[in-house]
Amino acid sequence: MKLFFKSFVRNKVYLPVALILALSLNLQSCDEDGNLVFPLTEAEVAQGLREALKVGTNNSVETTSQHNGYYGNSLIRIPWPEDAMGAYNFINNNLSYLKPLLDEVIVLMNRGAEDAADKAGPIFINAITSITIADAWNILNGANNAATEYLHQRTYESLFNAFRPDIHNSLEVVGAASAWTELTTSYNIVATITPGINTINTDLSAYTTGKALDGLFILIAEEEMKIRTDPAARINDILRRVFGTLD
């Protein structure tokens, strides 16, 4: 470093200029091939995070919108409503004529979610493009699901409102709504005259919508984790450059 400064002084370069250049060179790094790598700019970080979320949401929406996208994945399969498990057990043990509807409702709820899943795409894109530079730095340096949490906070309400009509229509089309109505109506008649058991009051479309969105964000979080931790998941230059800094 001393020789560096002496060289600049001998050539009549002012010390402040030499200092700036020295510090600048010192802040750079080289890749494994010895090429100079400049620090990330704020714009690159924002671009990289937008790209990561686009990849994650596109993959997740594509997965969930396929046949068995929900039902075939045990991680996000929509189960029987928890607040109606008492009814499930009672029907399963005591009302044999309704038992076939129990599993049918579970399958059809998942089919309804699969039919509605692609509704999420445009809402995600709108939120992704609005990521600010300040948000980007915080997300990049945050937890492994920081980008997913950012998206959840900014899109959940809009997604729920957009999903619910589609889920409702899908439940009607696939037959889940009629199966649920038949099951709950028959069960509730019994429940009202049987001490110790409660009627079913679950709003099936609201329940299915909430669970469908939960599953979607689980998959997005998995995609984000891959990009953050697995270089092979960084499918383009901006992802490799931005998320390579985390290695």
SS3 29: strand
Residue 29 pLDDT exceeds 90? no
* Angstrom distance (rounded) from CA 50 to CA 240: 13
Contacts of 1 (CB under 8 A, 6+ apart): 22
Does residue 79 carry a pLDDT above 90? yes
The pLDDT of residue 62 is 95
Phi-psi region at 230: left, alpha or beta (left = phi > 0; alpha = psi -120 to 50): beta
Would you state the pLDDT for residue 33? 52
- Residue 144 scores a pLDDT above 80: yes
Instruction: Single out the residue of 70, 53, 101 nearest to residue 200, CA to CA.
Output: 101
What is the average per-residue pLDDT within 189-193? 87
Q: What is the pLDDT of residue 233?
A: 92
Whether the predicted pLDDT of 152 surpasses 70 = yes
Pair of tokens at residue 34: 């010895």
> For 3-25, what is each residue's pLDDT tens digit?
444 444 455 444 454 444 443 44
The pLDDT score that the predictor gives to residue 22 is 40
Percent of the chain with pLDDT over 90: 35
Of the candidates 124, 123, 110, 116, the one whose C-alpha atom is nearest the C-alpha of residue 65 is 116
Tokens of 104: 């049918």
